[in-house]
Amino acid sequence: MARMKFLCDADRCIECNACVTACKNEHEVPWGINRRRVVTLNDGKPGERSISMACMHCTDAPCAAVCPVNVFYTTADGVVLHSKDLCIGCGYCFYACPFGAPQYPKTTNFGSRGKMDKCTFCAGGPEADGSKEEYEKYGANRLAEGKLPLCAEMCSTKALLAGDGDMVAKIYKERVSRRGYGSGAWGWQTAYHESIAS
């Protein structure tokens, strides 16, 4: 069974934000919610690196552990999804997430937090695959159509890889050995408790 993972090759990312735009457009993400973002470290200095970050779909996800109403579930592919119907907008998943993936609209009492929204690995939610309700709440379900996440598909340099973890790791290792350098699989230690062995 495939275990889906993201890998952003920090040495290839050119901060074009195509992944951000693709995600926003595909799922009609409302204004103010950023499922995916590109963070640039050491901007303008030697050693500048950009990394595209969204939900890493962790093994033993911290968001799922702290949720008071248990809205998270992990699919057979290892994708961490949640139910917006059950979410009470308490914000705990954001505190626990090392990557800051959960996002909240500024709605409900005192405009503090509405239902949590986050990257779904283009795998929708608990509603029926491809249904209108699923699209309205969670966005497109590409995985059910046999496609991979749009952010990785749209990446202009193929820095962002998404798919079966072993496949993605293999591609990255080949890249690193061919070009001779690599910053490592960013986030993999924290998310999956493993690193790309060299």
Q: In the complex, which residues of this chain contact other proteins (CB under 8 A)? A: 11, 15, 17, 20, 32, 34, 37-43, 45-47, 50-51, 53, 62, 65-71, 83, 85-92, 94-100, 109-110, 112-113, 173, 176-177, 180-190, 195-196, 198
Spatial distance between the Cα atoms of 57 and 80, rounded to a whole number of angstroms: 5
| Minimum distance from residue 52 beta carbon to other proteins (Å) | 10
How many other C-beta atoms can be found within 10 angstroms of the C-beta atom of residue 171? 15
Specify whether the CB–CB gap between 33 and 105 falls below 8 A: yes
Output 98 or 130, the one with its CB closest to other proteins: 98
Output 10 or 122, the one with its CB closest to other proteins: 10
| Minimum distance from residue 144 beta carbon to other proteins (Å) | 23
165 to 60, 103, 144, 161, 178: CA distances (angstroms): 16, 25, 18, 10, 20
Output 54 or 162, the one with its CB closest to other proteins: 54
| Minimum distance from residue 154 beta carbon to other proteins (Å) | 17
Residue 62's region, left for phi above 0, alpha for psi from -120 to 50, else beta, is alpha
Sign of CA dihedral 14, 16, 18, 23: positive
| Minimum distance from residue 48 beta carbon to other proteins (Å) | 8
123 to 89, 93, 146, 175: CA distances (angstroms): 21, 19, 10, 28
Output 10 or 143, the one with its CB closest to other proteins: 10
Output 34 or 143, the one with its CB closest to other proteins: 34
| Minimum distance from residue 9 beta carbon to other proteins (Å) | 12
What six digits make up the tokens of 110?
Answer: 């005192």
